[in-house]
Amino acid sequence: MLKGKTALVTGSTSGIGLGIAKALARQGANIVLNGFGDVEGPKAEIAALGVKVGYHGADMSKPAEIEAMMHYAAETFGRVDVLVNNAGIQHVALVEDFPPERWDAIIAINLSSAFHTSRLALPAMKAANWGRIINVASVHGLVASAQKAAYVAAKHGIVGLTKVTALETATTGVTCNAICPGWVLTPLVQKQVDARAAAEGLSNEEAKKQLLAEKEPSLQFTTPEELGELAVFFCSEAAKNVRGAAWNMDGGWAAQ
């Protein structure tokens, strides 16, 4: 379905981003990865799916590095047809205790980076009259949780940015939508599980159960593979008039 097209996925060396990148690669898209940690492993996983793969290590808190990444993608593959804004970090604290530098970092990486990639990708998408921008928000783009002020603010912002981008491209072949996952067992969430297990003297499995029981009625984690298939749907002909959606895949979290 996506043969000959290129997808750039931020924060894609592990977790949700890698799951989405692999799902798009299975549809034939060439992939530009971005992120930190192990790079060669994810590159090999994508290449094994029979597509071309590139990597750029842009720090998503720095606009100049984001611009360099977008130029790299255009020079290497022609243009970005599918942009998936997934990069994100987390910090948990009460508002009055929240370190200002952590607030700034979360807003920069979780929200502002999506603005920068989108503004740089849109001209070529509009010129070709085809493009897909998929913003990975969160159920926290729809509802809030205590002690996550910056993350919730950023993810609500992502949902708003998605709607504006969708309106501005409404009469074109470019669409913009947001995916709003509940709990996904990524390295970011595993850290929260580990912290809970340590603080309360629980086994890792019991900590996972408690985490799910508090918020997610299905009592099961959403998987990166499931989120990847939703991203594929957004890229399909069937979704050409799905515009500005904030699509929650959260086990019933936001339905409560």
Catalytic residues: 151
Q: Distance of CA 58 to CAs 43, 87, 131, 132, Å? A: 16, 11, 22, 21
CA 101 to chain centre: 22
Q: What are the residues facing 246 on neighbouring strands?
A: 178
By CB neighbour count within 10 A (0-12 exposed, 13-18 middle, 19+ buried), where does 49 fall?
Answer: middle
Reported in sequence order, the residue ranges of 57-145 that DSSP labels E, i.e. its strands, are: 82-85, 131-136
Q: Distance of CA 65 to CAs 11, 44, 113, 135, 158, Å? A: 14, 24, 10, 19, 20
237 secondary structure, DSSP code = G
